[in-house]
Structure 1
Amino acid sequence: MKNQVQLITYVDRLGGRRDGADLARLKRLLSEPGAPLAGVFGGVHLLPFFHAIDGADAGFDPIDHTQVDPRLGGWDDIKALTDELDVMADVIVNHMSAESPQFLDYSEKGDASPYAGLFLTLDGVFPNGATERELLTVYRPRPGLPVTYATLKNGERRILWTTFTPAQIDIAVHHPQGRAYLSGILKTFADNGIRMVRLDAVGYAIKKAGDSCFMMPETFDFIGEFAGEAKALGIEVLVEIHSYYRRQIEIAAKVDWVYDFALPPLVLHAFSFRTATGLKRWIAVRPTNALTVLDTHDGIGIIDIGADASDRTAHPGLVPPDELDQLVERIHAASQGQSRKATGAAASNLDLYQVNCTFFDAMGRDETNYLLARAVQFFLPGVPQVYYVGLLAGHNDMELLTRSQVGRDINRHYYDAAEIASDCQRPVVRRLIDLIRLRNEHAAFQGQFEAPPSDDAVLHLRWTHGDAWAELRIDFAAGTHSLTHSTEAGGSAAFAFS
């Protein structure tokens, strides 16, 4: 994976038209000379582009994980994009659509279906039946039980394992059918030039009676096996886990790459409470094999900096619980109450541990502070990713939220070509692109990182590589800041945030 900033985007929401040419259009936007984003990014994470992109969970419930949705283009278009940029794609490890050919065949034929072993049922985990206590032990970030009572088309009644929604049927990943299904996805990706994959929902993939069914030792074993298979095909693996921060550290020691999901709320906390204490606590212990983010297609994680729910006293969070509660309220206030309409039980949102809001609106549309937040992201060790809405300093899409009643859609705007061209002329976007280019091109970021000691209110970050250096200093209490760096001529220069 290149040590350069990557873009995260849906293919059809960044200048797309769903006319069969969206992938080709995205390639031109990111690489054609003269295009607004030409040469800005070293890689791109394409959010689900599989058939179909508009299911129950915006593509995270694929009907056919090995087919590009024809409204976007085809595998030739993916391969053409990989010739220009590093491309990451999702492997939805835990489940597939209830509309998939495999599940439809199983529903019609039951145990006579060749796919009968592909789908996980309650008795596949609890062959002797499950007690109330055992079911309540299963960790789930959404309300309700992780199973769905279903009557198949052939009249048989089954209790299916459905970690997320009844439309997303969990896969029996250790069954030969499950292994073959996932291996087929990896092989298709490798054949088309994809060299990075994100394991979506992998923390839930292994189920075990009497346990939490989340990030167990057996889960790590599965991740290791899958990553080994991917590595043999030349593919790196990113694990996506929202959890208590110390668990993230443990996970990072066992995988190729993890997300730094603690960073977004900690940055917001630093600006909101005018202190760097939480950030500096995290910087001292955080894993460096991380993809740094401030925003993604999901919400802003709260669980990632809070106390461990299993023992809040023995395992406190990175910020005090009262400040965490206040932070959520301050995000709602900064967004003029818009995020409240998309968070918690609002708008059919089930991810109760996340606040749904664009990052720019979560910061009250303060352009200077927003750019400073990006500078913090880019200065931390790891590979930065910028979400397409965040790239364009996007606002909450209340019209889309009202229309879909899906909380996360507040931060999943559909941009047409005219909006992209216009937004790329906004000063905050132009400065962000300049900052991305500085992070990609300056030699210091290929060297050594340090966070020199400083006062509680001050964050001081520095990179050096030979004679090259870059330094960021933010005093959250005083509201002062500076980003300076060496020049090729041997002098120094300052980055202008406004």
Structure 2
Amino acid sequence: MSAESTTAHAVPAPRQDQPATASCWRDAVVYQVYLRSFADGNGDGIGDFAGLRSRLPYLVELGVDALWVTPHYPSGGADGGYDVIDYRAVDEQYGTLDDVRALIDDAHAHGLKVLLDIVPNHTSDQHVWFQKALADPDSPEAGCYHFLPAGDEPPNNWQSMFGGPAWSRTPDGRWYLHLFTPQQPDLNWANPMVAEDFDETLRFWFDLGVDGFRVDVAYGLFKDPEYRDNPGVYSPTLFGHGPEQAMSTNQHQVHAIWRRWRAICDEYGDRMIVGEVSLADLDQVALYARPDEMHQAFQFRLLKSKWGAPAFAATIDEALTAFGRVGAAVPWVLGNHDKARQVTRYGSGDQGRRRARAAALLMLALPGAAYLYAGEELGLPEADVPDHARQDPIYFRSGGKRAGRDGCRVPMPWDDRDPGVGFSPAGSAAPWLPVPPGWQQHAVRRQRREPNSTLALYERALTLRATHPALGSGAATLTRHGDVLQIDLAATAGAEPAVTCWINMGATGFTIPAGRLLLASDPAVRPPAGGLLSLPADTAVWVA
């Protein structure tokens, strides 16, 4: 057995002045709930807080530590709730403030923490500030956005991440900036009024009992004050943003905001923030997780890596190295509400399922936090949403050239006996996105009856991770043997490896030292009679 590369990483210990509850996030397993699609409690076809509360026991049984809820604020509906009208209220289709309080109380009683989504880069065009700015160009609120004088051409070459120019015109001819849809005008964070208002928003939800926030577009708040052209052409992808956006994202001033938000978190003693930092350079991403900034910063390299040992090994090594330099743990992500499901990305059908199961064991073994997207524990594929039912602005702004994100946002399947998969009560309105044909085969109820289901695999993996000190924390040594990765995991730096995660990303079997088999992504893998174990293609195992 020859090793092509070996890299050892010790995960930095938390700073001594951090509260114990802050350091516990470093290896937490967080479950992302896409609120509209998780569970409908009132029968209107839209997921809500009542439905989510009713499913909290499921999250406890699954074994996660916290849940992150996508935006619940009153919204213009242009981008799935990410165009916010009021940051201190609840959209009536999801419930009320009392429903949020009840969710937090119930979650805490179950031992779960609650993260909300916050959207500081832009508001809805229906936000009171933007409406006042439209009515009066000289109003204080106009200074909260990026308005530039009327002209025949957009002020620069900046492009929307959803397609088309990032500039639109007001009725009086002014240009305003929107890095997403025209209904999502970007805020001007150089204006102190913006920062002060968000301070109040953070405290409002912290006072309600929320444990933290996932911060949308955390790298995008500040823009080049001279509005100079970006140096390249934007590539229409949601991830891997690089120098082609050098003037419209990742400005150095943004780090002062995260220090400001971190100070507010520290006032409450046990709150956290995790940022969406969609940058190609992981050294730049890690800067957002320095000790006085965010507790965590998402890096999406693993999520966007194509199936293959070289790409996965390079991603893991680079992420552990970059975050280790700033003393931060890595938050790992394989799926979310913006990306096609793993089963489909990795090849669809049986091959995609096998690879998705193996990738799950790999991610859950790595030192750091793990973020799961609702439904990946069921092995959901990307759904084929009919064009007439699509909702995502990406589909419409690209003229149908890009399918958008609806396929990973269809309702969660709960009950295989119900044509509506138990998403809504009996006799309810049709769901906001249609339930795909055959969706019942993935339902929670059915997988509960199958000992080798993907749900059962996740439950076993999370139980082991919670009880074994070498999984999710400590130190990792990565070795690549061609198409096979070997990750030796120790409970603490310098200790002997206690668990090894092997993943075969090649097309043929591979023989490994057996040890004691803790878990395998392929249920056909059995403990060997001798001292070696045959690891099939597209399979991962944990051995001790």
TM range (shorter): 0.7 to 0.9
Distance 2:387 2:497 in 1: 46
Residue 277 of structure 1 deviates from its aligned partner by: 4.7
CA change 1:79–1:462 in 2 (3 A) is farther
Larger relative contact order, structure 1 or 2 (CA cutoff 8 Å, min sep 6): 2
1:463 aligns with 2:493: no
Distance 1:77 1:471 in 2: 44
Instruction: Specify the code of the residue in structure 1 equivalent to 2:206.
Output: A
Within the candidate set 406, 409, 428, 1:409 is matched to 406
Query: Is the Cα–Cα contact under 8 Å of residues 82 and 119 in structure 2 kept in the other structure?
Result: yes
Query: Is the Cα–Cα contact under 8 Å of residues 146 and 186 in structure 2 kept in the other structure?
Result: yes
Match of 1:57 in 2: 79
1:392 aligns with 2:373: no
Residue 386 of structure 1 deviates from its aligned partner by: 0.6
Instruction: Specify the code of the residue in structure 1 equivalent to 2:504.
Output: D
Match of 1:24 in 2: 50
Distance 2:499 2:335 in 1: 24
Query: Is the Cα–Cα contact under 8 Å of residues 30 and 41 in structure 1 kept in the other structure?
Result: no
Distance 2:512 2:141 in 1: 59
Residue 166 of structure 1 deviates from its aligned partner by: 0.7
Instruction: Specify the code of the residue in structure 2 equivalent to 1:229.
Output: I
Match of 1:67 in 2: 89
SS of the residue 1:188 aligns to: helix
1:149 aligns with 2:169: yes
Instruction: Specify the code of the residue in structure 2 equivalent to 1:180.
Output: E
1:174 aligns with 2:190: yes
SS of the residue 1:62 aligns to: coil
Residue 438 of structure 1 deviates from its aligned partner by: 2.0
Residue 455 of structure 1 deviates from its aligned partner by: 2.1
Query: Is the Cα–Cα contact under 8 Å of residues 470 and 484 in structure 1 kept in the other structure?
Result: no
Aligned pairs (5 A) from 1:27-426: 27-31=53-57, 35=58, 38=61, 40-52=63-75, 55-82=77-104, 83=108, 84=110, 85-112=112-139, 115-122=141-148, 135-136=156-157, 138=158, 141-151=161-171, 156-207=172-223, 208-209=225-226, 210=228, 212-234=247-269, 235-246=271-282, 247-253=284-290, 255-266=294-305, 268-270=306-308, 277-279=313-315, 281-282=317-318, 285-287=321-323, 288-299=328-339, 357-363=340-346, 364-365=348-349, 366=351, 367-399=353-385, 402-404=388-390, 406=392, 407-415=404-412, 417-418=414-415, 419=421, 420-422=443-445, 424-425=447-448
Query: Is the Cα–Cα contact under 8 Å of residues 366 and 476 in structure 2 kept in the other structure?
Result: no
Query: Is the Cα–Cα contact under 8 Å of residues 257 and 290 in structure 1 kept in the other structure?
Result: yes
Range with bigger deviation, 429-438 or 86-95: 429-438
Residue 421 of structure 1 deviates from its aligned partner by: 3.2
Instruction: Specify the code of the residue in structure 2 equivalent to 1:150.
Output: T
Residue 183 of structure 1 deviates from its aligned partner by: 1.8
Distance 1:399 1:435 in 2: 31
Residue 233 of structure 1 deviates from its aligned partner by: 3.8
CA change 1:206–1:76 in 2 (3 A) is same
Q: How much is the aligned-residue C-alpha RMSD, in angstroms?
A: 3.2
Query: Is the Cα–Cα contact under 8 Å of residues 277 and 457 in structure 1 kept in the other structure?
Result: no
CA change 1:100–1:284 in 2 (3 A) is closer
Identity of aligned residues (%): 18
CA deviation vs aligned residue, 1:19-67 (integer Å, no higher than 9, x gap): 5993233223123xxx475352110010111113x71000000111211
Distance 2:380 2:142 in 1: 45
Instruction: Specify the code of the residue in structure 2 equivalent to 1:410.
Output: G
CA change 1:59–1:108 in 2 (3 A) is same
CA deviation vs aligned residue, 1:161-199 (integer Å, no higher than 9, x gap): 212111001112232431233122212210121122122
Larger fraction in helix = 1
Match of 1:496 in 2: 520
The alignment of Structure 1 onto Structure 2 pairs a total of residues equal to 417
SS of the residue 1:263 aligns to: helix
Query: Is the Cα–Cα contact under 8 Å of residues 483 and 495 in structure 1 kept in the other structure?
Result: no
Distance 2:376 2:333 in 1: 10
1:440 aligns with 2:429: no
CA deviation vs aligned residue, 1:275-329 (integer Å, no higher than 9, x gap): 7653454356242522211001112xxxxxxxxxxxxxxxxxxxxxxxxxxxxxx
Distance 2:413 2:479 in 1: 46
Query: Is the Cα–Cα contact under 8 Å of residues 98 and 167 in structure 1 kept in the other structure?
Result: yes
Match of 2:397 in 1: none
CA deviation vs aligned residue, 1:370-401 (integer Å, no higher than 9, x gap): 21100111122211011013122112222365
Distance 1:481 1:433 in 2: 27
Distance 2:279 2:474 in 1: 29
Distance 2:413 2:304 in 1: 30
SS of the residue 1:460 aligns to: strand
Instruction: Specify the code of the residue in structure 2 equivalent to 1:240.
Output: E
Structure 1: runs of 5 or more not aligned:
300-356, 486-491
Distance 1:27 1:460 in 2: 40
Query: Is the Cα–Cα contact under 8 Å of residues 292 and 384 in structure 1 kept in the other structure?
Result: yes
CA deviation vs aligned residue, 1:62-106 (integer Å, no higher than 9, x gap): 111211122222233323333242111122111111122332233
Instruction: Specify the code of the residue in structure 1 equivalent to 2:177.
Output: W
Query: Is the Cα–Cα contact under 8 Å of residues 202 and 240 in structure 1 kept in the other structure?
Result: yes
Distance 2:514 2:117 in 1: 37
SS of the residue 1:178 aligns to: helix
Match of 2:503 in 1: 474
Range with bigger deviation, 80-89 or 90-99: 80-89
Match of 1:333 in 2: none
Instruction: Specify the code of the residue in structure 1 equivalent to 2:308.
Output: A
Distance 1:122 1:163 in 2: 15
SS of the residue 1:226 aligns to: helix
Query: Is the Cα–Cα contact under 8 Å of residues 144 and 189 in structure 2 kept in the other structure?
Result: yes
Match of 2:425 in 1: none
Match of 1:311 in 2: none
CA change 1:41–1:159 in 2 (3 A) is same
Match of 1:345 in 2: none
| TM-score of the pair, normalised by structure 2 | 0.69
Residue 216 of structure 1 deviates from its aligned partner by: 1.7
CA change 1:480–1:437 in 2 (3 A) is farther
